[in-house]
Amino acid sequence: MNRKSPPKQKRLNIAEDLIENLPIGMMLLDEKGQIIRMNKKQEETSQIRREEVLGRTFQEAFPRTLEQGVKEPYLNLLTHGVPFDIIIDHYIPQYYSKQITYRTRGTPLPSKKYFILLHEHSQALDKEKRLVEKKTEELQESKNFLESLIDSSPNIVISTDLDDHILIFNKTAERVFGYTKEEVIKRKIDFLFLPKLQNGKNPQHLAEVTCIKKALTPFPASLIISDIKNMNGYPIAKLYLLSDLTEKKEMEERLFLSEKLALYTELMGGIAHQLNNPLIGVVNFSEMLLKEMEEEDSKRELAQTISKAGKECLRIITSVLNSIKDPYLTFSKTDIHEVLRDSILTLRDRLIEKLEKVSIQITGEQHILPIIGDALQLKQCFLNILINAIQAMPNGGNLRIAIGKEVDKKQIKISIADDGIGIPREYLNKIFLPFFSLKKRADRHGLGLSFAYQIIKNHGGNIYVESEFGKGSTFTIILPSN
């Protein structure tokens, strides 16, 4: 059964009714952009009566909308028939002031002579936008917290992609390695290790590796490597967790040195005790010879030298024995300047020929209060370091002695620097060991610096050395002030 099409006027009425009751705002524009039709929902959305905008161009009636990111899409629609669909967050309507989330769409009709603009804003759309914003903010907070947590770690935390390109480099890594994050991101991680780690051959746990700083200084570190996996269990990145072992190694070396020095002290005590009695005989017999000799006797000076040297040895041995029994037994108020001057005078007597090519400079504060210590032991300590410095400059050079005080820490600092051959890096942690010497010679037993170390420790101080091979060494002594 054929049905007749409804009359044209009836179809137009249906279309009008449909447009008028659309649940979203709609405007019909002609090819010049004039508003020729506007439905009821558009009136509600714009909060303006249609009579006030009909016959005006969209640009004239809604300039604020165009200014908020719609101008270019709108002109493309009129001139080229290009549809658009835009969501504007924080949109401010033309005829009232309120921030809303706003969606606008435009499309040409088949004739290309008319265009439809659809506009909507709703609580649901605004709520969804706010929810996305909230989730984004929460995600950013979580990201910031995670970054802060990683940066606050006392360990070095580095993350790479599966090809070993660095993605994360925390603050501890920056501080220890000396690189900024920007300098290492996207670089392959192998440049941080010595030797370089081989890609694909890294074990999950390495007890110890050698890392290399930006300044090309190596340092020991423990390393744990693990895979970062996604929810499906597939690796997506690598995590390198490193711990700088420098302080631990230094502590182990100090403990090792202390144990060695304890044995050395016991040995020195035994030797000193064995030498004490024969030396008393040397001093006594030299004194007896002096009493029996005439003043004009040509050999009297030799006997006096024997007596003087014997008494000096007895004083040193007595000081050593007393320091072993009780380091503080022989302590009294001691002028550090006087001890250094006495050390240099003795040095000139012993090494007069070698000092001809050496310039000795003493700088620093002159008014330093006396310390509590053993002047004889400290003199022997300074002498040992000074003699080492002279021997390190066979062709001469500068010997610089500086004295200062650190008021806040209540300490005295004495530095002795030379222009000598320096100490190779691999031997820096061994030079205070008993019987260690860089040059194996019959007259060098490797006890001088270990004795100096023990003396400074007995005085509650510390002794350090900095050296660069071929450029000299600096010994720094820290002593507590009175």
Each residue's pLDDT tens digit, 136-186? 777 777 767 777 788 788 899 999 999 999 999 999 999 999 999 999 999
* Cα–Cα distance for residue pair 385/380, rounded to 1 Å: 9
Sorting pLDDT into bands at 50, 70 and 90, what band is 287? confident
Segment 191-204 mean pLDDT: 66
**Of 139, 142, 155, nearest to 239 (Cα)?**
155
* Cα–Cα distance for residue pair 350/305, rounded to 1 Å: 14
Strand partners, 220: 210
DSSP state of 239: E
Segment 98-110 mean pLDDT: 87
Residues whose CB falls within 8 Å of the CB of residue 132, separated by 6 or more in sequence, listed in order: none
Segment 321-326 mean pLDDT: 62
The count of C-alpha atoms lying within 13 angstroms of the C-alpha of 77, restricted to the half-sphere facing its C-beta, is: 27
* Cα–Cα distance for residue pair 386/354, rounded to 1 Å: 12
Q: Where are the domains of the chain?
A: 8-121, 153-244, 247-325, 328-482
Strand partners, 85: 105
Please give the mean pLDDT across all residues of the chain. Answer: 82
- Region of 55 (left: φ > 0; alpha: ψ -120 to 50; beta: rest) is left
- Structurally, at CATH architecture level, domain 8-121 sits in 2-Layer Sandwich (3.30)
pTM, two decimal places: 0.44
Range with lowest mean pLDDT among 7-16, 56-65, 370-379: 7-16
Q: What is the pLDDT of residue 405?
A: 83
- Structurally, at CATH architecture level, domain 328-482 sits in 2-Layer Sandwich (3.30)
**Of 224, 222, 200, nearest to 210 (Cα)?**
222
Sorting pLDDT into bands at 50, 70 and 90, what band is 51? very high
Q: What is the pLDDT of residue 257?
A: 63
Sorting pLDDT into bands at 50, 70 and 90, what band is 201? very low
Same fold, 8-121 and 328-482: no
Whether the per-residue pLDDT at 304 is higher than 70: the answer is yes
Segment 239-260 mean pLDDT: 78
* Cα–Cα distance for residue pair 340/401, rounded to 1 Å: 9
Whether the per-residue pLDDT at 439 is higher than 80: the answer is no
Whether the CB-CB separation of 188 and 164 falls below 8 Å is answered with yes
pLDDT digits (tens, 9 = 90+) for 328-382: 667 889 999 999 999 999 888 888 777 888 899 989 887 788 889 988 889 988 9
Whether the per-residue pLDDT at 321 is higher than 70: the answer is no
% residues pLDDT > 70 (the chain): 81
Q: What is the pLDDT of residue 354?
A: 79
Sorting pLDDT into bands at 50, 70 and 90, what band is 478? very high
Q: What is the pLDDT of residue 438?
A: 65
Greater pLDDT, 14 or 412: 412
> In this structure, what token pair is assigned to residue 34?
């004039």
- Please state the φ and ψ torsions of residue 481, each to the nearest 5 degrees: -90, 165
> In this structure, what token pair is assigned to residue 114?
């008319």
**Of 390, 375, 314, nearest to 343 (Cα)?**
375
Q: What is the pLDDT of residue 61?
A: 93
pLDDT digits (tens, 9 = 90+) for 446-465: 567 878 888 888 888 999 89
Whether the per-residue pLDDT at 202 is higher than 60: the answer is no
Whether the CB-CB separation of 83 and 108 falls below 8 Å is answered with yes
Whether the per-residue pLDDT at 277 is higher than 80: the answer is no
Q: What is the pLDDT of residue 233?
A: 86
* Cα–Cα distance for residue pair 47/50, rounded to 1 Å: 9
Q: What is the pLDDT of residue 1?
A: 47
Whether the per-residue pLDDT at 30 is higher than 90: the answer is yes
* Cα–Cα distance for residue pair 387/369, rounded to 1 Å: 26
* Cα–Cα distance for residue pair 119/91, rounded to 1 Å: 12
Greater pLDDT, 176 or 283: 176
* Length of the chain counted residue by residue: 482
pLDDT digits (tens, 9 = 90+) for 416-432: 999 988 888 878 877 87
Whether the per-residue pLDDT at 236 is higher than 50: the answer is yes
SS3 451: helix
Segment 210-221 mean pLDDT: 90
Whether the per-residue pLDDT at 383 is higher than 80: the answer is yes
Kindly state which CATH superfamily the domain 153-244 is placed in.
PAS domain (3.30.450.20)
Segment 15-39 mean pLDDT: 88
